[in-house]
Amino acid sequence: MKYALVTGGSRGIGRAISLKMISLGYHILINYRSNEEEANQTLAMIKQEGGTGEKMRFDVADPQQVESTINQWCEDHKDSYIEVLVNNAGIRKDMLMMWMENNHWMDVIDTNLNGFFYVTRALLKNMLVHKYGRIVNIVSLSGLKGLPGQVNYSAAKAAVIGATKALAQEIGKKNVTVNAVAPGFIRTDMTKDLNENELKSLIPLNRFGLPEEVAEVVCFLASEKASYITGEVISVNGGLYT
How far apart CA 92 and CA 105 sit, in angstroms, is 10
Q: What is the DSSP letter of 216?
A: H
Secondary structure (DSSP) of 53-83: EEEEE--TT-HHHHHHHHHHHHHHTTT--EE
153 is catalytic: yes
How far apart CA 157 and CA 175 sit, in angstroms, is 25
* The one catalytic residue among 26, 153, 228, 241: 153
How far apart CA 108 and CA 114 sit, in angstroms, is 9
- Helix, strand, or coil (residue 23): helix
Closest residue by Cα to residue 240 from 197, 195, 209 = 209
Burial of residue 60 (CB within 10 Å: 0-12, 13-18, 19+) is buried
Adjacency order of strands within the sheet including 26-32? 53-57, 26-32, 2-6, 82-87, 133-138, 176-183, 233-236
How far apart CA 191 and CA 161 sit, in angstroms, is 21
Closest residue by Cα to residue 1 from 56, 69, 79 = 79
Active site (catalytic) residues: 153
